[in-house]
């Protein structure tokens, strides 16, 4: 039985001029526990809407979403979302930001701090515990958000274009780190992106989505045998197949003469 | 360094202008004081301890009126900003009351609270209350939605969310309102103290006028100006600190 089950989900928005925008149109998707799924597509394809529905921030207009057999109706600390603009609380120190989710649990202050420090170490920010978010770079802030998400030991982590605001090199570095951390912690990850390379590097399966109306076009398994080398031939092979999905690959028009 | 130059320069311009007006006017010293006469008057007020006592009275009155207004307006603004439907009913009332000068209420204030200590307090309170209330409501309603998503995600419930997330998240925007309210309330301090208070800088002004001591009057005016500037400086500094901590660039 699949862990996350999206059945026939649609979502419409009524625009200001009264016209209806079909963000999601009869979407079906099944995800196994521990999978790393990338929702890939251009803007307007409904990938963020689907994520928001999965995370319980929005309701679907039709259809159902179940996680572990339970219908999703509101957000839960069991499924934590990481946002593009980090969502850190600027008035709190890095340590206190990581403790935020733990404060709703029955823990002593010492236990909270111990857990928070542990996860700060995992993301390599143990020396920045007393800094404030504004003092950190974008990449470091997103690491804090990752530590904060991991600290409550969620089953699923939803990521909504978490690296879109970072520069290319920082992004690649964080992709590798997130991939390693999440696989090690055995989390199920649903990751929204519009970056094809990012999806190929990270995903076990890439859910390719197309806009107008938002639909799943195809699902591509990524079989890189655990080797996420951006320069390997396998990588380029999968990348090429994604390009084909979006019809981005120019047709071969070379004329051959014998 | 430039700042010293500008401040010194503007002081010289003011003094020169004042002196020229005094010469050209040729009024009696009891009606319009010269700069030198004002300095002498200020010296008298300082030496007798009258000025210090009046400053103390005004500042403590101001602190009480301002702080109680700010606390109440922020608490109310937080709740009303959060429950939009209630605000929709109260907003027109607030919009009608807001542009009314607090001094206009004076007859009613005297009717309700009598003369003496209370009118000054109530007028400062009214002057500070509306800017802070409106700033808080606007700040809560315009809050960055990601903070709410994070709070809901981690299961932070309805009553705590206001104090734990919403209030600190919107505080920099409220701070702008606090700053504005401070200036407005200080302006109305004098008006408030003219309604039968027996101490304070407003009382000093009335007293100086009644005794035909224009030099004291001018000394009191300058004191009010300088104190207002100092208060503004302190709040500006605190506001800057908050903006830095929250990682915002200062709006100029």
List chain A residues with CB under 8 Å of B245: 90-91, 132, 134
Count of CB pairs separated by less than 8 Å, A with B: 58
Instruction: Note the pLDDT tens digit of each residue in A203-249.
Output: 999 999 988 888 899 999 987 766 677 888 888 888 888 888 887 66
**What radius of gyration, in Å, describes the C-alpha atoms of chain B?**
22
Asked if B156 lies within 8 A of A87 by C-beta distance, the reply is no
Residue A183, pLDDT > 90, answer no
Which tokens belong to B220? 């009191």
**CA separation for the pair A116, A88 (Å, rounded):** 14
Q: Which residues of chain B have pLDDT under 70?
A: 249-252
Which pLDDT score, from 0 to 100, does residue A252 have?
62
Q: Do A73 and A58 contact (CB within 8 A), yes or no?
A: no
Which pLDDT score, from 0 to 100, does residue B125 have?
95
List chain A residues with CB under 8 Å of B152: 57, 74-75
List chain A residues with CB under 8 Å of B154: 77, 80, 100-101, 103-104, 152
The average confidence (pLDDT) of chain A is 89
Q: Do B165 and B156 contact (CB within 8 A), yes or no?
A: yes
DSSP of B195-220, one letter per residue?
TT-SSSHHHHHHHHHHTT-HHHHHHH
Which pLDDT score, from 0 to 100, does residue A180 have?
87
User: For residue A94, which of A71, A127, A63, A66 has the smallest C-alpha distance?
Assistant: A127
Instruction: Note the pLDDT tens digit of each residue in B2-22.
Output: 888 998 999 999 999 999 999
Asked if B153 lies within 8 A of A75 by C-beta distance, the reply is yes
User: For residue B64, which of B3, B115, B148, B125 has the smallest C-alpha distance?
Assistant: B125
Contact residues for B107 (Cβ-Cβ < 8 A; gap 6+): none
Which pLDDT score, from 0 to 100, does residue B159 have?
81
- Chain A residue with CA closest to B147: the answer is A87
User: For residue A94, which of A131, A142, A134, A125 has the smallest C-alpha distance?
Assistant: A131
**CA separation for the pair A234, A236 (Å, rounded):** 5
Q: Do B217 and B208 contact (CB within 8 A), yes or no?
A: yes
Asked if B247 lies within 8 A of A100 by C-beta distance, the reply is no
Contact status of A75 with chain B (Cβ, < 8 Å): yes
- The neighbour count for residue B243, using CB atoms within 10 Å, is 17
List chain B residues with CB under 8 Å of A57: 149, 152
pTM: 0.82
Q: Do A162 and A183 contact (CB within 8 A), yes or no?
A: no
- Chain A residue with CA closest to B167: the answer is A91
Judged by DSSP in three states, B113 sits in helix
Which pLDDT score, from 0 to 100, does residue A161 have?
92
Which pLDDT score, from 0 to 100, does residue A1 have?
64
ipTM computed for the complex: 0.85
List chain A residues with CB under 8 Å of B173: none
Contact status of A107 with chain B (Cβ, < 8 Å): no
| Among A74, A87, A100, beta carbon nearest to B146 | A87
- Chain B interface mutation, best of A55, A105, A134, A160, highest count of B Cβ atoms under 10 Å: A134
Asked if A57 lies within 8 A of B155 by C-beta distance, the reply is no
Asked if A89 lies within 8 A of B165 by C-beta distance, the reply is yes
For residue A213, cis peptide bond before it (omega within 30 degrees of 0):
yes
pLDDT confidence band for A257 (50 / 70 / 90) = low
Write phi, then psi, for A67 (nearest 5 degrees): -120, 125
Q: At what angle do helices B214-246 and B201-210 cross, to 10 degrees?
A: 160
Instruction: Note the pLDDT tens digit of each residue in A118-175.
Output: 999 999 999 999 999 999 999 999 999 999 999 999 999 999 999 988 888 889 989 9
Which pLDDT score, from 0 to 100, does residue B252 have?
42
- Chain A residue with CA closest to B168: the answer is A91
Q: Do A36 and A183 contact (CB within 8 A), yes or no?
A: yes
| Among B147, B149, B154, beta carbon nearest to A101 | B154
């Amino acid at each position: 039985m699949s862990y996350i089950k999206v059945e026939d989900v649609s979502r419409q928005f009524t625009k200001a001029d009264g016209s209806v925008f079909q963000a999601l149109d009869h979407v079906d998707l099944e995800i196994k526990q521990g999978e790393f799924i990338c929702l890939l597509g251009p803007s307007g394809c409904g990938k963020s809407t689907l994520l928001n529905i999965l995370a319980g921030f929005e309701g679907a207009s039709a259809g159902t979403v179940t996680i572990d057999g339970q219908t999703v109706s509101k957000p839960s600390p069991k499924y934590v979302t990481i946002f593009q603009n980090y969502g850190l609380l600027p008035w709190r120190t890095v340590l206190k930001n990581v403790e935020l989710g733990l404060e709703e649990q029955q823990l002593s202050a010492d236990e909270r701090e111990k857990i928070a420090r542990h996860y700060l170490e995992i993301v390599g920010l143990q020396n920045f515990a007393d800094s404030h978010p504004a003092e950190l770079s974008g990449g470091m802030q997103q690491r804090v958000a990752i530590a904060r998400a991991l600290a409550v030991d969620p089953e699923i982590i939803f990521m909504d274009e978490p690296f879109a605001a970072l520069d290319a090199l920082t992004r690649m570095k964080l992709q590798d780190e997130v991939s390693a951390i999440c696989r090690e912690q055995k989390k199920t990850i649903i990751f929204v992106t519009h970056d094809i390379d990012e999806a190929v590097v990270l995903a076990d399966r890439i859910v390719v989505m197309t806009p107008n109306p938002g639909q799943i076009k195809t699902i591509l398994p990524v079989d890189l045998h655990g080797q996420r080398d951006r320069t390997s031939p396998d990588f380029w092979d999968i990348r090429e197949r994604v390009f084909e999905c979006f019809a981005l690959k120019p047709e071969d028009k070379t004329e051959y003469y014998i | 360094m430039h700042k010293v130059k500008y401040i010194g320069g503007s002081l010289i311009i003011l003094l020169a202008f004042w002196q020229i007006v005094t010469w050209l006017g040729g009024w009696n010293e009891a009606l319009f004081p010269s700069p030198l006469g004002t300095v002498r008057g200020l010296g008298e007020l300082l030496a007798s301890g009258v000025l210090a006592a009046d400053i103390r009275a005004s500042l403590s009155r101001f602190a009480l009126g301002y702080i109680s207004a700010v606390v109440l307006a922020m608490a109310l603004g937080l709740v009303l900003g959060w429950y939009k439907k209630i605000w929709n009913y109260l907003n027109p009332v607030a919009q009608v009351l807001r542009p009314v000068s607090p001094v206009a209420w004076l007859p009613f204030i005297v009717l309700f609270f009598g003369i003496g200590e209370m009118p000054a307090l109530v007028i400062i309170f009214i002057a500070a209350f509306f800017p802070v209330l409106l700033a808080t409501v606007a700040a809560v309603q315009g809050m960055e939605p990601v903070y709410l998503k994070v709070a809901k995600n981690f299961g932070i419930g309805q009553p705590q969310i206001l104090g734990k997330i919403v209030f600190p998240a919107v505080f920099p925007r409220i701070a702008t309102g606090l700053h504005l309210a401070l200036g407005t309330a200080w302006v109305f301090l004098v008006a408030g103290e003219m309604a039968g208070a027996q101490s304070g800088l407003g009382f000093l002004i009335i007293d100086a006028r009644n005794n035909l001591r224009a030099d004291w009057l001018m000394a009191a005016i300058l004191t009010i100006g300088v104190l207002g500037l100092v208060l503004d400086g302190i709040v500006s500094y605190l506001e800057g600190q908050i903006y830095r901590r929250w990682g915002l660039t200062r709006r100029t």
